[in-house]
Structure 1
Amino acid sequence: MSLTIRRLSPQEFALNADSLVDIYISAMGYDPAIREGRIFSWRREVIRPGFTALIAEDATGVIGVAYGFIGTPDSWWDRQLRLALRREGELSAEEIEMLRSYFEVAEVHVLPRMQGHGLGRQLLVELLWNAPGKWALLSTPEVPNESNRAFSLYRSMGFTDVIRQYRYPGDERPFAILKLPLPLS
């Protein structure tokens, strides 16, 4: 399998957001009715500080996408993260430091037919290579016994728990929020 991982400029990402969101919907099993809203959101995120986007391509076209940016208090996800942490009690010194310096892994998705071949790992490693921040943070849907490819990938890379069983507004599923110290070793 001939595979290329390529960085996209913010403009390229915005222009291709529709097909990239299709990968996300397919990989996550979301209702296609959310498509237009997600395209709008993804296009807005290109202005975030440190925005970085990657795609994986083979002879058939784009088969994977990953993007992220520096976490800032003005983002929806940061506000959710802070809310989740405060529900657990007083913030620890490590949590305060984490909130000051993290790279948000917004999305990492691979078409279902291409999953299980290490492509998600390649995208995530490339995304986090030289990422700004002391931590990489992400969220992933909870599954019983962490028995899916996403959890296997994150655990094998060294991601640990920040918050478990968090429910984002608008999604009935619980999510895990995970962290990884940067730079990658």
Structure 2
Amino acid sequence: MPVEIRRLTIPEFSVHCPSFVDIYLSAMGYPTDIKDRQVAHWRRDTTHPGFEALCAIDRGYIVGFAYGFLGSRDHWWYHQLVKGVREQAPSSPLHWQVLSSYFEVAEVHVAPSCQSRGIGRHLLRGLTHRVPALYTVLSTPEVPDEANAAFHLYRSEGYRDLLRHYYFTGDDRPFAVLYSPSVGQREER
């Protein structure tokens, strides 16, 4: 039986949020003591305009998920990106154009035991298909030579550098922030 990708309502996302956070903690190697905080934070994210969520189900078990929403000048992440652009690329009009209309891919994660099966690609494509923004933007931890499945996926889907080796407030790891024209924008070119 193939993996099912299912679009979620906000109540469905909220109900399954603890399971999604478990996958996130495992995939990212974060400590489990942040679980309750993440669940509360992600449930608050459902109030952002344009919120979308999907999950991947294999043999009745949730094995992956993705969610995002429209970027906004009111969000913490937007302010982090503005700070990074000012520090790294203050003269680039493209960077400011991306920040003017983007869909934030907040999370895309697949359980480690189910990775490298194309599930993340299906989740990312399903989440970003026809978003009402000019660009999609996401972040991923930096790794030497971009040698991991996440970078491979994002590069193969056309994501380019917006920021590199950026430190988000509250995380001691460097991140790459990547962007891509939205699917509708790519098809118009």
TM-score (norm 2): 0.94
Which residue number corresponds to residue 53 of structure 1?
53
For residues 60 and 20 of structure 2, the distance between their equivalents in structure 1, rounded to whole angstroms, comes to: 14
Which residue number corresponds to residue 162 of structure 1?
162
Unaligned runs of 5+ in 2: none
For residues 170 and 51 of structure 2, the distance between their equivalents in structure 1, rounded to whole angstroms, comes to: 25
For residues 95 and 143 of structure 1, the distance between their equivalents in structure 2, rounded to whole angstroms, comes to: 23
Q: Which residue type is aligned with residue 143 of structure 2?
A: V
Which residue number corresponds to residue 108 of structure 1?
108
TM-score (norm 1): 0.96
For residues 83 and 102 of structure 1, the distance between their equivalents in structure 2, rounded to whole angstroms, comes to: 16
Q: Which residue type is aligned with residue 64 of structure 1?
A: G
For residues 60 and 182 of structure 2, the distance between their equivalents in structure 1, rounded to whole angstroms, comes to: 34
SS in 1 for 2:46: helix
Q: Which aligned segments of 4 or more residues in structure 1 are displaced greater than 3 angstroms? A: none
Q: Which residue type is aligned with residue 64 of structure 2?
A: G
Q: Which residue type is aligned with residue 75 of structure 1?
A: H
The Cα of 1:131 is off from its aligned counterpart by: 1.0
Work out whether 1:134 is the aligned partner of 2:115: no
Which residue number corresponds to residue 7 of structure 1?
7
- Superimposed CA distance per residue, residues 71-130 of structure 1 (whole angstroms, 9 cap, x where no aligned partner): 001111111011100112535322222111100000000000000011100000010111
Which residue number corresponds to residue 147 of structure 1?
147
Q: Which residue type is aligned with residue 157 of structure 2?
A: M
Which residue number corresponds to residue 35 of structure 1?
35
Which residue number corresponds to residue 65 of structure 1?
65
The Cα of 1:60 is off from its aligned counterpart by: 4.2
Q: Which residue type is aligned with residue 62 of structure 2?
A: V
Query: What percent identity do the matched residue pairs reach?
Result: 48
For residues 166 and 84 of structure 1, the distance between their equivalents in structure 2, rounded to whole angstroms, comes to: 7
Q: What RMSD over aligned residues (CA atoms) do the two structures have, in Å? A: 1.1
Contact 2:164 / 2:175 at 8 angstroms: preserved in 1?
yes
For residues 42 and 10 of structure 1, the distance between their equivalents in structure 2, rounded to whole angstroms, comes to: 11
Contact 2:89 / 2:95 at 8 angstroms: preserved in 1?
no
What pairs up with 1:77-116 in 2 under 5 angstroms?
Answer: 77-116=77-116
Q: How many residues were matched structurally?
A: 185
Unaligned runs of 5+ in 1: none
